[in-house]
Structure 1
Amino acid sequence: MTRPLAFAVPGDIATLTGGFIYERRLLEGLRRAGHDVLHLELPAGFPDPSPPDMAAAVAALAAVAPDRPLILDGLVFGSIDTAGLARVRAPLVAMIHHPLAQETGLSPARRDHLFRTERDNLRLARHVLVPSPHTRRILTARYGVPPDAITVLRPGVDQPRLPPAPAAPPLILSVGILHPRKGHDVLIRALSLLPDLDWQAVIVGNLWDRDHAAALARQRAASPAAHRIRLAGRVSDDDLQALYARAAIFALATWYEGHGIVFDEALVRGLPIVSCDAGAVPDTVPQGAGLLVAPGDAQAFAAALRSLLQAPDRRRAMAKAALAAGAGLPGWQQMADRASLVLSRI
């Protein structure tokens, strides 16, 4: 059964972050499944909207017809005024990648405000879509969302377009927006502890926090391993595919993930993963395919990288486990078809 839907996202849905990629592919997949999906581009200021942006978003959502279930991006859902959201006539479907109060670097007052707002707004949702069991556990335990009102909709993954072509020396690849939560500064500190080994590293990431990006550039320049670390910034899809093909290890020193699409991209390419035991990462990275350390621990992260660089046999075994796990991941249309079934019942 297909039905009219609405999907509201703040700003440009083509923005290169995992959350926006997830939502864009879901929107496209729902349309391919036969749904008439109205795309609402809300003001880009969320989760910190100006008063005019807040008013514009509430007005746009309130105008959606009551026969269109409305999927609302989590940046908006967790921060929009509760009284304004209560004016919406369409059945609300929350898309929560991770609760906003879990973000890195928040003041206690800001964290409390976001927690209370998101908790209250979730009481208005008819259903909730999340990318991982971890996010579902948080929403049930801390936000009081009934388990049967949540669907885990694991992101899809595209198959690699290029065959593996490992670089020499081994390439350590990291992919994630230039934001403090991604831990690129921790990765650079870890790489700086490996001057005696042969490796090269590339950090790919769309500019998100300009001050943090500038700090990363200064940190990299001051590193004793600066000549082996490249801050690539945003790259074309063709260049990213080539980097994945040339990589030997995928590394992301993240502080928190609601899922982490880049881990699936690494798995489907058979890349061993070094990351952190944080958020949904243990749900996403299977045992045997990755090494997880405490977030923020550069020495432990360096030790994990060292263990893979010095033991090619171990690296190959983990690569085999990663490839096997990647073979079982859903495609993007499979994800959208599953969402279609859920939305058709609302």
Structure 2
Amino acid sequence: MTVLLVPGDVDDPASPSGGNHYDRRVRDELAALGRAVEWTPLPGAWPRPEPAGVDALDRALAGTPDGTTVLADGLVVCALPEPVVPHAERLDLVVLLHLPLADETGADPALDDAERAVLHAARAVVATSTWTVSVLTGRHGIAPERVALAVPGTDPAPAAPGTGGAGGLLSVGSLTPRKGHDVLVAALAELTDLDWTATIVGPGGRAPEHADAVRTAAGERVRFTGARHGAELEAEYAAADLLVLPSRAEPYGMVVTEALARGIPVLASDVGGVRSALGDAAVDELLVPPGDAGALAGALRRWLGDPALRARARDRARTATPPGWDVTARTLDEVLTASAVRS
């Protein structure tokens, strides 16, 4: 039996995130490989540990028999070394790290110390991007042999027809400071002389004041849909000519590979693991410094005004081959098996 400790909102359709999607998919793929999985959502550990969340984590760990393999999302355990470290001595603890806690925009840098203590207590750590691997081995001093890489998978998808032009801009992600939609809105304000429409897909409940400010600053050509799933989200991708990811920090960027699976080029902040997610589909003219609205506006102007650039970016997007979720699950399964053997 493998116990999966995941954030309490993991199944909440109003709170979609790449990390939650990753956790759900690896649960299903691990089960398909024959691994028995106990799904354990836990509340309140991040971004501000609440007493109920701390108690729930302590009870979950205390009730787990000695030697059990526990795969824990870093959002659940990395801020709470006090209940985690003592239990890690008797459990086969593997931590899954998407984004280091202190790298969330506005986070307390002191979270690095808490996270480091948890990671050093774990038997193994799984990173979801090469950039996160570098943080683990560099900033946190985790031995490379204790770190495994399991990048997010991508499902096959039909090619997006787009608008037939260049001006259908799409951004997918929660309206939080890290995702940089305020930067995108500021950049679009510099492009009122050009033909475009922008759709921002994602919930605003995690940072409501920030979300309200972004919506207020946006012009009438920017449409906010809230969270989208299934056929509704597919329709947004199908209508897109370009995916825009203006994040201030991004360990990987699952929406990047979701776009590439549909042949949609990507304009993104050159940050974290974004280049890794893009792979051979990266176009230097469409990568900009994070938080720089002027640079983002310039890249959008190039996209809208340069047919040769668009053709090159589309060719690279259409030939991209993102890995599937089966690859992700096999990697995780191998890590969990090896960790259990070592215990």
The TM-score normalised by the length of structure 2 is: 0.92
**2:97 is the alignment partner of 1:127:** no
CA distance in 2, matches of 1:164, 1:66: 53
**2:195 is the alignment partner of 1:198:** yes
> 1:8 touches 1:42 (CA, 8 Å); kept in 2?
yes
* Cα deviations by residue, 1:191-226 (Å, 9 ceiling, x for unpaired): 111111111110001222111111111111xxxxx2
Report the secondary structure of 1:341's partner residue.
helix
Look up the match of 2:296: 301
Shift of 1:167: 5.0
CA distance in 2, matches of 1:342, 1:84: 20
Moved over 6 A (4+): none
CA distance in 2, matches of 1:298, 1:165: 25
* Cα deviations by residue, 1:244-266 (Å, 9 ceiling, x for unpaired): 11111110110001111001111
Matches within 5 A, 1:245-260: 245-260=238-253
Give the aligned residue type for 1:123. H
Look up the match of 1:215: 213
Matches within 5 A, 1:1-346: 4-15=1-12, 16-88=16-88, 89-106=90-107, 110-112=108-110, 114-161=111-158, 163-166=160-163, 170-207=167-204, 208-220=206-218, 226-286=219-279, 289-290=282-283, 291-325=286-320, 327=321, 329-346=322-339
CA distance in 2, matches of 1:105, 1:300: 23
CA distance in 1, matches of 2:138, 2:77: 19
CA RMSD of the aligned region, Å? 1.6
Report the secondary structure of 2:241's partner residue.
strand
CA distance in 1, matches of 2:251, 2:166: 32
**Gap runs ≥5 in structure 2:** none
Q: Percent same amino acid at aligned positions?
A: 38
Shift of 1:44: 3.4
Report the secondary structure of 2:327's partner residue.
helix
CA distance in 2, matches of 1:289, 1:344: 35
Give the aligned residue type for 1:311. D
**Change in CA separation of 1:98 and 1:165 when aligned onto 2, cut-off 3 Å:** closer
Deviating more after overlay: 298-307 vs 312-321:
312-321
Give the aligned residue type for 1:129. V
CA distance in 1, matches of 2:239, 2:255: 16
CA distance in 2, matches of 1:105, 1:46: 13
Give the aligned residue type for 2:57. A
Deviating more after overlay: 52-61 vs 119-128:
52-61
Report the secondary structure of 1:58's partner residue.
helix
Deviating more after overlay: 12-21 vs 43-52:
43-52
**Change in CA separation of 1:104 and 1:132 when aligned onto 2, cut-off 3 Å:** same
Shift of 1:335: 1.2
Look up the match of 1:223: none
Equivalenced residues, count: 332
**Gap runs ≥5 in structure 1:** 221-225
CA distance in 2, matches of 1:255, 1:231: 20
**Change in CA separation of 1:313 and 1:180 when aligned onto 2, cut-off 3 Å:** same
* Cα deviations by residue, 1:33-85 (Å, 9 ceiling, x for unpaired): 10111111212342422223212211211211234210111112210133543
CA distance in 1, matches of 2:160, 2:252: 26
The TM-score normalised by the length of structure 1 is: 0.91
> 1:181 touches 1:255 (CA, 8 Å); kept in 2?
yes
> 2:166 touches 2:241 (CA, 8 Å); kept in 1?
no
CA distance in 2, matches of 1:296, 1:163: 28
